[in-house]
Amino acid sequence: MAAGLPTEGTNSLHPRAGDAARKDVPVCSLTERLGDVRERVKAEGWDAALVVDGERVVLGLLRSEELAKDPDQRIEQVMRPGPSTFRPYVSLHEMAHFMEEHDLESSPVTTSDGKLVGLLYRTDAVRLGMQPK
């Protein structure tokens, strides 16, 4: 509803995907050189990056496996295109279960129009979503 921004009401007391998604995840464009992106991502201490367009609509995902490919390739040649995304309002409890069941290390969180909110790590979802109520 609020694209990852705060809301009011009883549900707002429970942590949701948008709350825990890391908003500072590195981003890159389709035409960048993988080697350049990898350097930037590592320098910032990350192991993943999102590929976005000029309006921050998510086009692809780069995890460790993709970041380790031939550095002279363009991002569009190596990325995981069209990754599954999740909406910010989904409860972290639900996200934690889903990510464990599907063995997802991280998942992009986007608004309904595909714009990046952040990258949710399973470790964060489990730590914050599995707490006793």
Partner 1 sequence: MASLIDRDQLQRLVAQGAQLLEVLPADEYKEDHLPGAKSIPLRQLNRETAATLDAHRPVIVYCWDIA
DSSP 30: T
Min dist CB 112 to partner 1, Å, is 3
Instruction: Tokens for 63, please give them.
Output: 């995890």
Query: What is the helix (H) or strand (E) element at residue 127, kind and residue range?
Result: helix 122-129
Choose between 74 and 115: whose C-beta lies nearer to partner 1.
115
Closest alpha carbon to 73 in 37, 103, 40, 104: 37
Residues near partner 1 (CB under 8 A): 1-3, 6-12, 87-89, 111-113
Choose between 12 and 77: whose C-beta lies nearer to partner 1.
12
Choose between 89 and 121: whose C-beta lies nearer to partner 1.
89
Min dist CB 7 to partner 1, Å, is 5
Q: Are 86 and 104 in contact (CB under 8 A)?
A: no
Min dist CB 4 to partner 1, Å, is 8
